[in-house]
A and B are shown apart, each in its own frame.
Chain A
Amino acid sequence: MSDLTRRTVLKAAGATLGASAFAAAIAPLTQWKPAESIDEFLSKHYKELSPDELAAMCRRFEDEAKRNQGLDIHVAAAQPLPGVQFGYALNLSICVGCRRCAEACHQENNHDRPSHNSYIRVFELENGSIDLANGDATYDHPVPATGKYYMPVQCHHCDNAPCTKVCPVEATWKEQDGIVVVDYNWCIGCRYCEAACPYHARRFNWKKPEIPPEQVNPDQGLLSNRVRPQGVMEKCTFCLHRTREGRLPACLEACPTGARVFGDLADPDSDIRWVLANKRVFILKEELGTKPRFFYFFDK
């Protein structure tokens, strides 16, 4: 055999070996199921869907829940209410740090059970200082503790939202009623928005959320609390599946002290407008110019 032929044979053998090693290396991908259906894989951006397509998508998620888990869920694509501008205020003077808001969020929004995820983090701060550097969100002792006060932080639904600006694919945007949403079908999972948010409001699905079927909240919104897929961003949506029906958000209902005030900023007679007009209101990190829809206030 001439040197040239031997070389060719060796090269061919090497190439075959390399190709089969490559095939073996990517073999785990055969178990990958990025989308439930081809429809989901090819689904258009939320804003490009017609009302009929939106309804069809909701039905599809309902059917999938029925087929895969035997669950009867209701998925709706609630649209912004005309003329309504949502706002939220939180009374730091009476919040006791019981985390019932965070727990209600956990249940309402079908969060991953093992991580006990929630869109709300409650910080225990020292009286006399608003420096979060002295805060702690992992306390477990009875509350309120002496010398401490509590500051729940969640998405501020900023009017100048840093998170929506940075998204390379417009998978997150601000709706007409002021709610910042994520299209779970469109997000590519780059987490740039998570880096951009000054309020630690965004959460990433590091894995597929785990919820026992009997614990799933069946009242679901397409842009809010439907069970999220793996690898996408999620965040507080002011419970838009509730609030766009006129109901209060779950965190507010869970608050035992009434520290939370939610309502329509466009309605001069709303509770939230009364708070903004009559209380000592402040905005977290106001200097960043994010123009939040979430306000903190003190009684005294």
Chain B
Amino acid sequence: MTLATLKRPGLLAFARQAFAHATDGGPLFYAWMTLLTCVALVGVNAWANQVVNGMQVTGMGDHVSWGLYISNFTFFVGVAAAAVMMVIPAYLYHDHEMHDAVIVGELLAIAAIVVCLLSVTVDLGRPDRFWHMMPVIGRFNWPISLLTWDVIVLNGYLGLNAWICGYLLWSRWCGRAPSPRLYLPFVFLSIVWAVSIHTVTAFLYCGLGGRPFWNTALLAPRFLASAFVAGPALIIVVLLALQRLGSYPFGDKPIRMLVRVVRVTALINIFLLAVECFTALYTGGSHAASLTYLLFGLHGHHALVPWIWSAITLNIVAAGLFLWPGLLRRSRLLVAACLMTFVGIWIEKGMGLVIPGFIPSTLHEMVEYVPSLTEWKITLGIVAAGALVYTLLLKVALPLISGWTPGLAVGVESMDAQHRRLFEQLNQLIAAVRAGRGAAEVGRTMDFLDSYVREHFADEERLLAEAGYPGLEAHHRMHAGFTAELETVRAGLSADDSDREALAERLHLSMRDWLLRHIRVEDRAYGAFLRAREAD
């Protein structure tokens, strides 16, 4: 038996581990990262050219003075806000399983805010004067300018989510239960804050009396409704992809929950759009001009008509699919429905909301807008950068959530190695069950886990008996309970009509979480005992 000195896991080690997690992966991971890097670099290059040559390289002009950048910004504020749809069930309704999955949403919020901030930055004519907006050294026109409010809420939201995710992961790394005092208030604050980022972003537009298309109190509710469609839809796709990639450490419950959310919000979103259309079109007059242009074309200009009808069709079809209970069983169709509504809302809320505000112009001139190649390059580059950030965050966070961390070390090298291996085996099994792998493969994984668990328990108990550990009897009973549970699951797996999802959930909830708690409490207790004995 080799006893290691138990060091408090340091921040540097955490960073080193995070870096290793973030940069290690299979060929698919490297291909994905290379692709994103290339797209992002194309965007960087296009932006550098835009900075040098001026905004003349865009399709914008004095009539339509905001375009793709601000459209994309607006859309991704919604995506960021959507994390709240996982936070609410997880923390307000104490849904245990959502508790772990919520980090997927919170990390998405961080990546989406990065996309937002970059989108606004590339829209600046003078990025070199960015510092003029900083309080103290610049002149921050707060509280008069809504844009300053947006700067505050977006950065605040970024900070909140970074703190919550960072703290939870750090606690997990240290093998400590997170202190509710240090994160729960921030979680509840982030719920309100998520609503605020999209409300303030809506206020950017609806506070402008000169633009009747935006000057409607319904804008903020519409923003939120559409955000709570597109955001959860994206998270569903991410969860399904992680499941497929075998790196998904949670049950199916989050997906079911999010589908239920989208089922409602998709309808609300369509309803609010219809309400807006009725009010403007039935009243008529110049206030309906922009909406008429958007939906039907005006004075011979129709650029947005095919787009908005595509968006409306996509949203209605997707809403119908979400109403169908069978959707959950067909993951391909579910992905299709999610992508449809995601694209539908991207069009409706980005181009469909920002651009018509400028057409016709405030003096009723008709000048249409088509994004330039530069704008597309930059926008795609930003989205790729966001995806890059998100991938790296997930790469760091997911193993920490589901695997062994140095914080769980009991200080006995052989036991720590076995514990690490146990987590790996268990996660492999969960992934195999979830991904619907064949019975033979699942069986093999199960067999291996089963024998490994027994071996480990025997080793551990032998060690404790040799050391004369007083809690051996109780410890043994716990091990026996776990072995019995494993037996039940094994029986379930070999049955032909087994409900694999329920089994996977059981593996995840009752077994991995048990393991986590057991190591954290009981195993560390014997570790302390052994070290104390050694010291005497």
Contact = CB atoms under 8 A, between A and B. Distances in A.
Direct contact of A and B (CB under 8 A): yes
Interface of A: 7, 11, 14, 18, 21-22, 24-29, 31-32, 34-35, 41, 45, 121, 123, 131-133, 135, 137, 153, 162, 165-171, 186-192, 194-200, 202-208, 230-233, 285, 288-290
A195 B66 contact: yes
Interface stretch (B78-86, B307-315, B345-353, B359-367): B359-367
Contacts of B127: 188
Contact of A28 (B49, B207, B209): B49
Contact of A123 (B55, B138, B363): B363
Contact of A22 (B41, B55, B147, B151): B41
A133 B364 contact: yes
Contact of A289 (B51, B123, B204, B209): B209
B125 A205 contact: yes
29 contacts: A21-B38, A21-B41, A24-B45, A25-B41, A28-B45, A28-B48, A29-B52, A34-B126, A45-B132, A132-B364, A137-B365, A162-B209, A168-B140, A168-B141, A168-B145, A168-B147, A168-B151, A170-B141, A186-B129, A188-B127, A189-B129, A190-B124, A191-B123, A194-B62, A197-B210, A197-B362, A200-B63, A200-B362, A208-B54
B358 to A, nearest CB: 8
Contacts of A45: 132, 139
A194 B124 CA distance: 13
Contact of B51 (A29, A121, A195): A29
A188 B130 contact: yes
Contacts of B44: 22, 25-26
B364 A25 contact: no
Interface string B332-351: 00000000000000000000
Contacts of B151: 168
A133 B41 contact: no
A291 to B, nearest CB: 12
Contacts of B204: 192
Given A188-B130, A289-B209, A169 B357 contact: no
Nearest to B150: A168
Interface in B56-99: 56, 58, 60-63, 65-66
B125 A231 contact: yes
Given A132-B364, A170-B139, A199-B363, A188 B54 contact: no
Given A32-B52, A166-B147, A204 B125 contact: yes
A191 B66 contact: yes
A230 B209 CA distance: 28
Given A132-B364, A165-B145, A205-B125, A198 B209 contact: yes
A225 to B, nearest CB: 18
Nearest to B209: A288
Given A28-B45, A195-B357, A206-B60, 12 more contacts: A21-B41, A25-B41, A41-B128, A166-B146, A169-B141, A187-B126, A190-B125, A196-B210, A200-B363, A207-B56, A208-B54, A231-B125
A121 B210 CA distance: 17
Contacts of A31: 52
B222 interface: no
Interface in B110-138: 120, 123-130, 132-133, 138
A275 B393 CA distance: 67
B41 A230 contact: no
A135 B133 contact: no
B451 interface: no
B125 A189 contact: yes
B46 to A, nearest CB: 9
B445 interface: no
Which residue among B49, B58, B124, B141 has the maximum number of chain A CB atoms within 10 Å of its CB?
Answer: B141
Contact of B147 (A24, A190, A200): A190
